[in-house]
Structure 1
Amino acid sequence: MTTYSKIIGTGSYLPAKRVTNQELAAQLAEQGIETSDEWIVTRSGISARHYAEPAELSSDLALQAAQRALQAAGLQPNDIDLIIMATSTPDHLGGFPSTACVVQRKLGITNGAPAMDVQAVCSGFVYAMSVADSFIKSGAHKNVLVIGAEVFSRILDFKDRTTCVLFGDGAGAVVMSASQEPGVLATKLHADGSHGHILCVPGSVNNGAVAGSAYLYMDGPAVFKLAVSLLDKVAREALEAANMQSTDVDWLVPHQANIRIMQGTAKKMGLPLEKMVVTVAEHGNTSAASIPLALDQAVRDGRIQPGHTVMMEGVGGGFTWGAVLVRM
């Protein structure tokens, strides 16, 4: 009998501190940097974002989202036999111990389940879901906790208005479990390292100090041009792999980077905008957390129902991109 992987629970968490465009513009004005709510909304569709408190780490946000996903799935922490964490802002310098291991400890999982981080920036959650799907279908694991969590506010240069207004912090999670019913219908992942320079944090650690810049850098026009083209292509690849058409998609849950990229993707796919889940206005770009945050919101407000077909897709630094087509 064929084993499938299926999403059986979703959860998300946003830090308490909400920062509106007006508040951010006032903060930047103190440094002599001019921006406005209209400027930000026109270019990105973002009206507000959430920032973690200084003591809050990616693992703290992930813990909250994971607990909510476990509750929705009706599982206890020790029912989880694999944790996959997508993040570009790990708790520790150098990325170890992995933030997944930190979350394992904070959840109280004591069964020795493996835990690992996945780094594909804004495509990270799609990458992590694809890995979980493969492990479950192979029979190696039964209940996998997949998390996307970020504190991007820590790597923003607040003297660069072209990037600092776009990003926020948050976490989202799903529990994927072995099922006799189809859940994940297709996954497609890609990368092209030749575009790594257009979206990156170019600094490195050398002799205990940062060499180069530790702030996020983005060539906005280049990213925009690539994103719309690649998201359309990878979505069609996933549909083809599942022997489906775009008309079979009930909901599009794209990476919440920029409303213009999202709308352009939906248009290329021939999907009405009413079928696209949009949270970017309130969350900003939360990188690997953006897709599970949007998914959980749409599940909890009743838009996404059991049996619905959902396309999740993202692009990120690397350059990476991918799509996961699921039946809820």
Structure 2
Amino acid sequence: MDTISLIDIASYLPESRVSADYFAQFATSDRLAHNVMFRSPKYRHHIASDENAVDMAERAVAPLIERHGSETISNVDILITHTQLPDVPVLGTGGDLARRMGMTPDWVVDLHNGGCASFVYMIKLARQIMQTSDASTALIVSVQNSAGQFCIQSDVRARPESAIPGDGAGVCLLAKSEAAPVLGLECRAYPEFAGDMTGVVDPPRKYWEAGTGQFRIAFTESKIAKVFARGNRLVPEVAMAVCKQIDIAPSAIDTLVTNQPNRLFLRNWRDALELPVERHPDTFDECGNLFGAAIPVTLDTENRAGRIPNGSLVMMSAFAHAGDFAGAGAVRWGAAPVGV
């Protein structure tokens, strides 16, 4: 099998940096507000009113073009995207992004499942395609753009869960190469939990139907307890499965990067893997919950700061939605900036 490497990574955060005070002014008395799942980050970034998902993806890709040249990006064989809130319900981001980038890839995949673990899932899909075809390069794109759109609706922004998400986009370039090999990947589906995440509108209607009320993701205390128990288990579980695949102990992980729903999950996951806090970076207090974009945005942030030297063993691990999917992947890092 050809070795597939993560050659480079980049990200984009919208300019609008919103403090916790913005949501505090609208907060109402709510039992859920005291739940540890909804302790607000200090900041988060919100998509601009005149910005869309493809804009964010294009801006995240820009550093890759600067470093590798426009021809490298325009000639990629595979483009896989995941967008939290598609701009048009029936249309993914891939086609328009390819148009703007001048790309004509053999594969354009707009992946909609995988949620917070979608970045790992997209890498696995791209690797599978490259190892079974002539395709030699892939561009992976993750866009989280719901925070500055439905989380700030007048009825929704008062709810405690609205202060947690932030917007951002992360991308990576994969290639057939020995430079920075993807060492192992593990993705697991748990369909029995797929119905536990729901969206509601009060009074009830389908989200696309005209009417009063604003769409939001529904939370109850019983659902939160179940999701918390699953998340605590799933992220270390898939990470340890990858460790077993590549025959290492969790202690050999130099950098663990996960999704970042809240601080408690972050603490519990590194404790489960017995890793010190300095080996588990996050961007939660600056960016909030970035869902599927959390892993690439945090990796890019740490990489640009020079905290992931080449040769490091990087583990990515995440769970999605209410626990219907989880994925982890290990990479021998090779994307450190020149001169770092």
Q: TM-score, normalised by structure 2?
A: 0.85
CA distance in 2, matches of 1:235, 1:225: 17
Gaps of 5+ in 2: 334-340
Q: CA deviation at 1:40?
A: 9.3
Kindly indicate whether the alpha-carbon contact (under 8 Å) linking 1:125 and 1:288 is maintained by their aligned counterparts in 2: yes
Q: Does 1:115 align with 2:119?
A: no
Do the aligned partners of residues 210 and 266 (structure 1) sit closer, same or farther apart at CA in structure 2, a change above 3 Å counting? farther
Q: Does 1:142 align with 2:136?
A: yes
Paired residue secondary structure (1:195): helix
Q: Does 1:80 align with 2:76?
A: yes
Letter in 1 for 2:86: P
Paired residue secondary structure (2:97): helix
Do the aligned partners of residues 205 and 287 (structure 1) sit closer, same or farther apart at CA in structure 2, a change above 3 Å counting? farther
Q: CA deviation at 1:176?
A: 0.7
Paired residue secondary structure (1:46): coil
Q: Does 1:106 align with 2:100?
A: yes
Give the structure with the higher percent helix. 1
Residues 317-326 or 227-236, more deviating: 317-326
Do the aligned partners of residues 70 and 143 (structure 1) sit closer, same or farther apart at CA in structure 2, a change above 3 Å counting? farther
Paired residue secondary structure (1:189): strand
Kindly indicate whether the alpha-carbon contact (under 8 Å) linking 2:42 and 2:286 is maintained by their aligned counterparts in 1: yes
CA distance in 1, matches of 2:175, 2:268: 33
Kindly indicate whether the alpha-carbon contact (under 8 Å) linking 2:78 and 2:105 is maintained by their aligned counterparts in 1: no
Paired residue secondary structure (1:201): strand
Kindly indicate whether the alpha-carbon contact (under 8 Å) linking 1:44 and 1:260 is maintained by their aligned counterparts in 2: no
How many pairs are equivalent? 318
Kindly indicate whether the alpha-carbon contact (under 8 Å) linking 2:12 and 2:170 is maintained by their aligned counterparts in 1: yes
Q: C-alpha offsets along residues 245-267 of structure 1, whole Å, 9 cap, x if unaligned?
A: 11211100011211110110111
Q: Does 1:57 align with 2:52?
A: yes
Q: CA deviation at 1:74?
A: 4.8
Q: CA deviation at 1:274?
A: 0.9
Q: CA deviation at 1:200?
A: 3.6
Q: Does 1:320 align with 2:325?
A: yes
CA distance in 2, matches of 1:223, 1:208: 27
Kindly indicate whether the alpha-carbon contact (under 8 Å) linking 1:41 and 1:47 is maintained by their aligned counterparts in 2: no
Q: Does 1:133 align with 2:138?
A: no
Partner of 2:195: 197
CA distance in 1, matches of 2:301, 2:286: 12
Partner of 1:292: 296
CA distance in 1, matches of 2:80, 2:239: 23
Q: CA deviation at 1:213?
A: 7.0
CA distance in 2, matches of 1:199, 1:41: 19
CA distance in 2, matches of 1:89, 1:99: 10
CA distance in 1, matches of 2:246, 2:13: 33
CA distance in 2, matches of 1:250, 1:78: 33
Q: CA deviation at 1:179?
A: 0.6
Paired residue secondary structure (1:91): coil
**Matching of residues 175-186 of structure 1 within 5 Å:** 175-181=173-179, 183-186=181-184
Q: C-alpha offsets along residues 76-126 of structure 1, whole Å, 9 cap, x if unaligned?
A: 3222111100222112113x2x211111112222x3432111122111111
Kindly indicate whether the alpha-carbon contact (under 8 Å) linking 1:12 and 1:69 is maintained by their aligned counterparts in 2: no
Kindly indicate whether the alpha-carbon contact (under 8 Å) linking 1:11 and 1:173 is maintained by their aligned counterparts in 2: yes
Residues 315-324 or 41-50, more deviating: 41-50
**Matching of residues 219-234 of structure 1 within 5 Å:** 219-234=223-238
**Matching of residues 227-306 of structure 1 within 5 Å:** 227-306=231-310
Matching residue within 128, 146, 150 for 1:155: 150
Runs of 4+ in 1 over 4 A off after TM superposition: 38-43, 202-208, 210-213
Do the aligned partners of residues 267 and 254 (structure 1) sit closer, same or farther apart at CA in structure 2, a change above 3 Å counting? same
Partner of 2:337: none
Q: CA deviation at 1:132?
A: 1.3
Do the aligned partners of residues 310 and 325 (structure 1) sit closer, same or farther apart at CA in structure 2, a change above 3 Å counting? same
Percentage of matched positions with identical amino acids: 25
Letter in 1 for 2:166: G
Kindly indicate whether the alpha-carbon contact (under 8 Å) linking 2:316 and 2:330 is maintained by their aligned counterparts in 1: yes
Gaps of 5+ in 1: none
Do the aligned partners of residues 143 and 44 (structure 1) sit closer, same or farther apart at CA in structure 2, a change above 3 Å counting? farther
